[in-house]
Amino acid sequence: MAPHVAGFASELERLRYTASPVKKHCYLVARLSGWLDELGLGVDVVATPLVEPFFVARRAAGVANLRTRASLKPLIGHLEAIGVLTVPGPPAPTSDAERLLAAFGTYLSDERSLVAGTVRFYAYVAGLLVEERTMAGGLPMSGLTAGDVTGFTTRVCEGRGLSSCRQVVSALRSFLRFLVLEGVTVLALEDAVLAVAGWDPQLPRAIGAGDVTRLLANCDRKSLLGRRDYAIVLLLSRLGLRGGEVVAMELGDIDWRAGELIVRGKGRRRDRLPVPADVGDALAAYLQGGRPASDSRRLFLRSIAPFTGFADTGALRGVLKRACARADMVYVSPHRLRHTTATELLRSGAALGEIGHVLRHRSSVTTAVYAKVDLDRLRHLARPWPAVAA
- Do 255 and 262 contact (CB within 8 A), yes or no? yes
Q: Which of 78, 133, 173, 242 is catalytic?
A: 242
Q: Which of 166, 322, 335, 336 is catalytic?
A: 335
Q: Which of 238, 291, 338, 339 is catalytic?
A: 338
Q: Which of 31, 67, 266, 302 is catalytic?
A: 266
Dihedral sign of CA atoms 265, 266, 271, 277 in order:
negative
- Cα→Cα distances 251→265, 294, 300, 358, Å: 16, 12, 9, 21
In the residue annotation, 370 being an active-site residue is answered as: yes
In the residue annotation, 335 being an active-site residue is answered as: yes
Query: DSSP letters along 57-126, please?
Result: HHHHTT--SS-SGGGGHHHHHHHHHTTS-----PPPP-SHHHHHHHHHHHIIIIIS---HHHHHHHHHHH
In the residue annotation, 242 being an active-site residue is answered as: yes
C-alpha of 74 from chain center: 22
What gap in Å lies between CA 169 and CA 329, rounded to an integer? Answer: 35
The torsion region of residue 76 among left (phi > 0), alpha (psi -120 to 50) and beta comes to alpha
The amino acid occupying position 136 is: A
CB atoms closer than 10 angstroms to residue 145: 12
Show the 3-state SS of 1-46.
CHHHHHHHHHHHHHCCCCHHHHHHHHHHHHHHHHHHHHHCCCHHHH
* Phi/psi of residue 161, nearest 5 degrees: -75, 175
In the residue annotation, 361 being an active-site residue is answered as: yes
In the residue annotation, 272 being an active-site residue is answered as: no
Residue closest to 144 by CA, chosen among 119, 121, 167, 178: 178
Q: Which long-range contacts (CB under 8 A, 24 or more apart) does 246-251 make?
A: 246/300, 246/316, 246/334, 247/298, 247/300, 247/309, 247/310, 247/312, 247/313, 247/315, 247/316, 248/298, 249/298, 249/299, 249/300, 250/297, 250/298, 250/299, 251/287, 251/297, 251/298, 251/299
Which distant-in-sequence residues (6+ apart) come within 8 Å of 293 by Cβ?
A: 16, 307
- Please identify every residue annotated as catalytic: 242, 266, 335, 338, 361, 370
